[in-house]
Amino acid sequence: MSINLSDNSRKILIVGSGAAGFSAAKAARMQDPEAEIIMFGRDGRLPYYRLRLCEYIGRDVNNEELRISSDEWFKKNRIKAETASEVTKIDAENRKIYAGGREYSYDSLVLATGSTPAMPPFAGKELEGIHTLWTIEDVIGINRSLEKAKKAVVIGGGLLGLEAAYKISKTGIQVSLIEGMPRLLPKQLDDEGSEIFKSKVESLGISVFCGKSVTGFEGDASGHVRCINMADGASLEADTVIVSVGVRPNVELFRDTGISMNRFVSVNEKMETSVKGVYAAGDVACVNGRWFGQWSVATSQGQVAGTNAAGGNAVYKDIDVPYILNTMETRVVCSGDAGVNRQDETKAEYKTERKADRERFSYSRLVFRNGVFSGYMLVGEPAKAFNRLQPLINTASGVDKIYSIIYG
């Protein structure tokens, strides 16, 4: 069946109902009050705050609390949400898509299909009790496993993995955290900062194993996971496992459409793809060679894509977004050029100032480049000052001034 929208209004289709897709729909409506807008999803749910999923580990999921918007909002703004109509084909040449057995034509198309949790080819990954953490259904499955669990293991020490380990520990279940890199948060913290953060995690009763490579799982006669094997011959008992080792963008739908892409869809600062009338935003988009993978960035990109899809002229500004981690009863904030994993071939002169208090799990590292404050990393109490530090980046603010802000 072919669906032809009103001939007189702009036809905007949005593929994806996450942060970028919802933001695009909202911006498109603001730009063009008369446009026909349809947002497609595949999980049967209206957009919700994925970053809050860990809050429901160990307790019932509250769908209303998680929702970004209500049915009433979509009706009021005349945006049709086809939440259970998976798009199966895009015909960019003829400006059509196919979803739910129907054909839809468009003037503008926004690609915002997000990403999927990565699952490495572990032996035994099909065993019961092994989960990823990305959807409401995932949390429900995890909670079901935890009802009879005694030992849980989280693989991956990123934002979701850390928060999942913390929430499970609060249920009284013994938790271990495995990180493949030599230290926790290797892209955000230096050796000393990471060690202090690791000590904080361990102080909560969570066992941490860094530099460990998981090879697979073993199960019992019923097909339920019981053991995790590692490359060095070590093993850990576990009856619940959460794998949180990154994501992969959902771009398979866009292949062979003429849209320029590799691992991601290539877009410019207006979120335009190589095909006229087609935009991309969020986890699937690579802006002038840069990919971000953050909720706030996806929202901003969706706003630009939706505005331009509706005839506007918005530009995405690549700003320095601080990395903020609130978990393990502490906070980690990093921003700017903090000197982690730097590969700088210039002759810039760097100066670093550090303060550490291991008993209080507190750490600060300030970096100055040619006399200019260029970045910071903060763990624990000092991280409370990040909002006042952020405006000082790329200024000539001195150490004394910054320390007075952090430590009073």
- Indicate if 145 and 203 belong to the same structural domain: yes
CA triple 336-342-346, angle to 5 deg: 95
pLDDT tier at 405 (50, 70, 90 boundaries)? very high
Whether 316 is covered by a domain: the verdict is no
Range of the domain at 365: 323-407
Q: Where among 243, 266, 294 does a domain terminate?
A: 243
C-alpha distance from residue 394 to each of 375, 378, 388, 391 (Å):
8, 17, 14, 8
Please tell me whether residues 72 and 165 are part of one structural domain: no
CA dist., res. 154 & res. 203, Å (int) = 17
**pLDDT value at 319 more than 80:** no
The predicted pLDDT at position 109 comes to 98
Q: 360 pLDDT band (50/70/90 cuts)? A: very high
- Residues 371 and 225 grouped into a single domain: no
Is 28 inside a domain boundary? yes
Same domain assignment for residues 151 and 167: yes
Torsion (CA) 285, 291, 296, 298 in degrees, nearest 10: 10
Q: Write down the mean pLDDT value for the chain.
A: 93
- Residue 331 near residue 382 (C-beta atoms within 8 A): no
Least confident of 11-25, 150-164, 294-308, 315-329: 315-329
**Cα angle value 359/365/367 (rounded, 5°):** 170
Residue 355 lies in a domain: yes
Residue 315 lies in a domain: no
Q: Indicate whether 51 and 81 sit together in one domain.
A: yes
pLDDT value at 5 more than 90? no
Query: Structurally, how many domains does the chain consist of?
Result: 3
Question: What is the mean pLDDT of the segment spanning 200-223?
Answer: 97
User: Which residues on adjacent β-strands are paired with residue 179?
Assistant: 210
Please indicate, yes or no, if residue 10 is contained in any of the structural domains. yes
45: CATH: 3.50.50.60
Cα-based angle 106, 109, 111 (whole degrees, multiple of 5)? 150
In a domain, 189, yes or no: yes
Q: What is the mean pLDDT of residues 332-348?
A: 69
> For residue range 73-92, what is the model confidence (pLDDT) as tens digits?
999 999 999 998 999 999 99
317 domain residue, yes or no: no
- What residue has token string 């802000």? 405
Which residue, 285, 309, 333, sits at the end of a domain? 309
Tell whether the model's pLDDT for residue 2 goes beyond 60.
Answer: no
* Residue 285, beta-bridge partner list: 265
**Cβ distance 15 to 21 under 8 Å?**
yes
333: CATH: 3.30.390.30
Structure pTM?
Answer: 0.90
Among the residue ranges 3-12, 112-121, 173-182, 361-370, the one predicted with the least confidence is 3-12
**Helix or strand or coil: residue 316?**
coil
- Which of 222, 243, 264 delimits the end of a domain? 243
How far apart CA 408 and CA 207 sit, in angstroms, is 34
Rounded CA separation 157/242 (Å): 11
Domain co-membership, 175 together with 255: no
Q: 336 in a domain, yes or no?
A: yes
Same domain, 146 and 228: yes
